[in-house]
């Protein structure tokens, strides 16, 4: 059977780790290949002795890491190498990249070392295609997935939305610094904002919450635990290549507001509601509508989400065999 080794440089309990757990454990993925997860250093991808038919990088590209990737390519010249782009997207580049040419040079240098580059959303893939950084014919789009059984088994929330959930790392990417003042402008004393996650902005976000007793910080909990405590979920992210929390919220039958940044826009097809402007007044209005005019959504079927991932990997691996 085909053996695939997945290289990771971050083992924190985030989306990439949980995606890899799905890949390693799902029967459909196991039917395609044996999967092994191999941690490597951020700048030391060139690990000797990897026994694999295909090597998949889930690493973050950086200039310091390029020599390691060159070494990996040299060590395994006859082995197909795939890179999954979990980190970079159009809104990230707009918000964080000041030297655009240098950034695009990094992407071109990195992607040129791989036989295939995988975007995690159609929106990210379209951006990569526009940049011209991926060699022609090497770009695929495969949406990630995680184990959705715990979310699918959650009871649907009541029609009245009184607990709004924000789930994710507490940093600038997630936009919680805009969400909190937008929420505080709501006039409803019985509506709560439940924030799940940890990160470098926690103290600053707690200061923004001030004395508003309607806002609670829970720290990191299991996704299904967070969703069980929410009637709806909001994702005001500044950038988001895909947004696994959106898939989980929709699988759990929770109404979902998203900023529409990058891959979040793609979740509208499954029922997410997009907030068109990244401003506090517009988000206050959207939150007000969510509370006063709640919508029932059709739960995203676990099989549908899983099939997108399985089909994407199956097509990619078959394409590699044909070359």
How would DSSP label each residue in 184-213?
A: HT---TT-EEEEE---TTHHHHHHHHTT-T
At 92-110, the pLDDT tens digits run 999 999 999 999 999 999 9
- Structural domains in the chain, CATH included, are 3-146+304-322 (3.40.50.2000), 157-298 (3.40.50.2000)
Residue closest to 83 by CA, chosen among 102, 101, 65: 65
Asked whether 171 and 205 are in contact (CB, 8 A), the reply is no
0.85 exceeded by pTM: yes
Chain segment 42-93, per-residue pLDDT in tens = 888 988 899 999 999 999 999 999 999 999 999 999 999 999 999 999 999 9
pLDDT band at 159 (very low <50, low <70, confident <90, very high): confident
pLDDT for res 32: 92
Q: Is the pLDDT of residue 294 over 80?
A: no
- Structure-block tokens of residue 281: 């007044």
* Cα 179 to Cα 25: distance, rounded to the nearest angstrom: 35
């Amino acid at each position: 059977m085909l053996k695939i080794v997945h290289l990771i440089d971050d083992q924190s309990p985030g989306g990439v780790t949980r995606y890899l757990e799905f890949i390693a454990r799902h029967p459909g993925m196991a039917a395609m290949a044996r999967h092994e997860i191999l941690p490597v250093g951020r700048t030391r991808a060139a690990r000797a002795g990897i026994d694999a038919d295909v090597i998949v990088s889930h690493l973050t590209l950086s200039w310091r890491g390029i020599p390691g990737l060159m070494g990996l390519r040299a060590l395994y010249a006859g082995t197909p190498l795939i890179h999954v782009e979990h980190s970079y997207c159009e809104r990230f580049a707009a918000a964080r990249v000041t030297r655009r040419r240098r950034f695009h040079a990094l992407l071109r240098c990195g992607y040129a070392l791989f036989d295939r580059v995988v975007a995690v959303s159609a929106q990210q893939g379209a951006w990569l295609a526009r940049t011209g950084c991926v060699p022609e014919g090497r770009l695929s789009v495969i949406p990630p997935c995680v184990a959705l059984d715990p979310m699918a088994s959650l009871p649907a929330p009541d029609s009245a939305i009184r607990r709004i959930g924000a789930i994710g790392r507490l940093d600038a990417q997630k936009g919680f610094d805009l969400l909190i003042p937008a929420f505080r402008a709501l006039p409803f004393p019985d509506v709560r904002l439940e924030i799940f996650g940890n990160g470098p902005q926690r103290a600053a976000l707690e200061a923004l919450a001030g004395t508003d007793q309607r806002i609670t910080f829970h720290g990191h909990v299991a996704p299904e635990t967070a969703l069980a405590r929410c009637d709806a979920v909001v994702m005001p992210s500044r950038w988001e290549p895909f947004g696994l929390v959106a898939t989980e919220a929709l699988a759990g039958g929770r109404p979902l507001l998203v900023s529409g940044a990058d891959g979040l826009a793609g979740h509208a097809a499954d029922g997410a509601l997009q907030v068109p402007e990244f401003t506090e007044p517009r988000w206050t209005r959207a939150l007000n509508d969510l509370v006063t005019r709640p919508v029932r959504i059709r739960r995203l079927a676990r099989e549908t989400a899983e099939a997108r991932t399985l089909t994407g990997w199956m097509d990619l691996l078959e394409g590699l065999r044909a070359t």
